[in-house]
Amino acid sequence: ESMAEMPEEILVEGAKEWEHALVGFFVGKKIPFRSLFSVLHKKWSAAGKFSIHMAENGIYVFKCESAATRDWILNNGPWDVWGVHLALRLWERDMPPISSGFTKVPVWVKLMNIPMEYWTVQGLSRLASVLGTPLHMDPATEGKQLISFARVCVEMKADKQFPDVIKTRRSDGTLVEVKVEYSWKPPVCDRCKVFDHSTKGCPHKQVTKVEAQGKRTVPD
């Protein structure tokens, strides 16, 4: 078995190349690469320069010139191209490859009615973990500039629900209901447990065909 051992200095240098990058994909429909830059340039050019790099399985990497450009794009979404939602998340070193099928998708959520003692990174992350895997928070939430609500980007799974309320119990036993709003709810297929098409548009759904003897349901 052949293996290439990579020195840490090479990994550090490679990670630095992409430290201001975002990873994204379009949910439900593919967008032609040639059209993508011109559309996003109109939307994002005020924030700074960026380049687009196409990976496999419809995944794009958006390499930004600075952290400020990256954060502006991330925090001013959700974004779409021709009505097709662009799901975005931060690029991170050692991030596993995103496979086709889209069983997970990053979604910005707004948490409201949060007890004051929950306003720590650990506390907010614990709340958000009920929904999925917390990825990051917006600057206003991290800096506690506005504590009437928190915005957290959460990686949601297609086989999980999108609850409107998270229940939690304070130290005195009081039950608190934290309200949840979603910036966008992706179409999900209950049959395939993926986000790239809805149950109604599922290519594997059963169809009803009319025959001489009557109706019967048969698979495609």
Return the sign of the alpha-carbon dihedral for residues 84, 85, 90, 92. negative
pLDDT above 90: residue 35: no
Residues 6+ apart with CB under 8 A from 149: 110, 111, 112, 114
What is the set of domains in the chain, with CATH numbers?
8-90 (3.30.70.330), 104-182 (3.30.70)
pLDDT digits (tens, 9 = 90+) for 72-128: 998 888 888 988 888 888 888 887 665 545 677 888 899 999 999 999 999 999 999
Q: Is 144 left (phi over 0), alpha (psi -120 to 50) or beta?
A: left
Handedness of CA 101, 104, 106, 108 (dihedral sign): positive
Residue 25 CA, chain-centre distance (Å), reads: 9
Q: Which residues pair with 52 in a beta bridge?
A: 62
**Spatial CA neighbour of 183 closest among 149, 151, 141:** 151
Model pTM score: 0.66
